[in-house]
Amino acid sequence: MSKLAIIAGRGALPAALVAALSDRPMICALDGFAPEGLEVDQIFRVERLALFLRLLEDQGITQVVFAGAAQRPRLDPSLFDPQTAQMVPRLLAAMQAGDDATLRAVIAIFEEAGFEVVGVEAIAPALLPAAAVLTGTLTPQHESDATRAETITAALGAVDVGQGCVVAQGLCLAVEALPGTDAMLTSLSQIPASLRPKGGLYYKAAKPGQDRRIDLPTIGVETIRLAAEAGLSGIAFQAGSVICLDVPQMITAAQANGLLLWAR
C-alpha cells in the first residue's frame, strides 16, 4: 500500500490538497517555507537532502507530491553531508538552466531514491476545473484577448519565464516573471491611464511540455481580489491544467467583483 508525503511550500495549496485526501499524508517542508494552516511533521534543508530522503524511506513513504511555493534557498556549504555534497554539482547546473530544469532534477533525485513522484491532478483532480464559464458573461472581446494571451503565455513558457499575462483589447499589459502573479497584477496600477485600455483579461496556463507533476500554475481568491483591484474584467485559465484553491469561494469573489471566471 502506498504511503504519501507532501513536500510542502508556502501558500494554501498544501492544506487544500490535504483536505481533498481521505488519509492525512506526512507533511514535510523546506526550512523557511512553511505552508499555511498545516502542522508540519518534518522540516528539512537542501544541504541535508540525502538524510531527508533516508528519513522518508524509514517512515515507509513510497509516494511524494510537491505542493506550494518555494524560492531557491541560500545554501550553507558547512551543512552538507557527504552524500548530499555529491548532488550539488548536478543541482547547481540545473539551477543555472532555469526553473524547469531545476524541478526536473529534483524529481529525478527523488525517483532515483525509490520514490514515486505524483502530481496534484493524479490524487486530487477536482482541484483542476474542467472547461466551463464558472461565472460572469463571456464576450467576444474576452475570447479575442484570451487567444492573444494564450500565444504570449506559450511563448513565455517555452523559454521558462512565466505562466501568465494580462491582455486588454489585444494589448499585452504585463507578463508574469520571477516576482510572480501577485507582483504582476499589482504592477498594473503603475501603467498611465492614457496607455491602458479599459478592462482586460488575466490568463494563466501551464508551460508547453512542462512536467505536470510539479509546478502546475495555481490561482485562488487572492488572485480574484488583485485582478479586481487592478480593474480587470475577467480571469481565464487553461482548463484541466490550473490548480484552483476553493472554487466556490473563487466564484463568490468573482461574482462580488463582477469578474468573468473562465476555465478555457
Place of cell 510542502: 8
44 and 160 assigned to the same domain = no
Q: What's the mean per-residue pLDDT of the chain? A: 93
Share of the chain above pLDDT 90, in %: 79
Residues 128, 133, 134, 137: is their CA dihedral positive or negative?
A: positive
111 and 156 assigned to the same domain = no
Do the beta carbons of residue 223 and residue 181 sit within 8 Å?
A: yes
Of the candidate ranges 6-20, 60-74, 181-195, the one whose mean pLDDT is the lowest: 60-74
- The string of pLDDT tens digits covering residues 81-127 is 899 888 888 887 877 766 777 888 889 999 999 999 999 999 999 99
What CATH number is given to the structural domain containing 57? Answer: 3.40.50.20
90 and 204 assigned to the same domain = no
Q: How far is CA 94 from the centre of its chain?
A: 19
Q: For the chain, what is the domain count?
A: 2
135 and 259 assigned to the same domain = yes
109 and 178 assigned to the same domain = no
167 and 243 assigned to the same domain = yes
Place of cell 548530499: 84
Residue after which a domain boundary falls, among 76, 92, 123: 123
114 and 8 assigned to the same domain = yes
Do the beta carbons of residue 164 and residue 146 sit within 8 Å?
A: no
Structural domain that includes position 101: 4-123
pTM: 0.90
Check residue 1 and give its pLDDT.
66
132 and 58 assigned to the same domain = no
Check residue 210 and give its pLDDT.
87
Of the candidate ranges 27-36, 147-156, 249-258, the one whose mean pLDDT is the lowest: 27-36
53 and 72 assigned to the same domain = yes
Burial of 67 (0-12, 13-18, 19+ CB in 10 A): buried
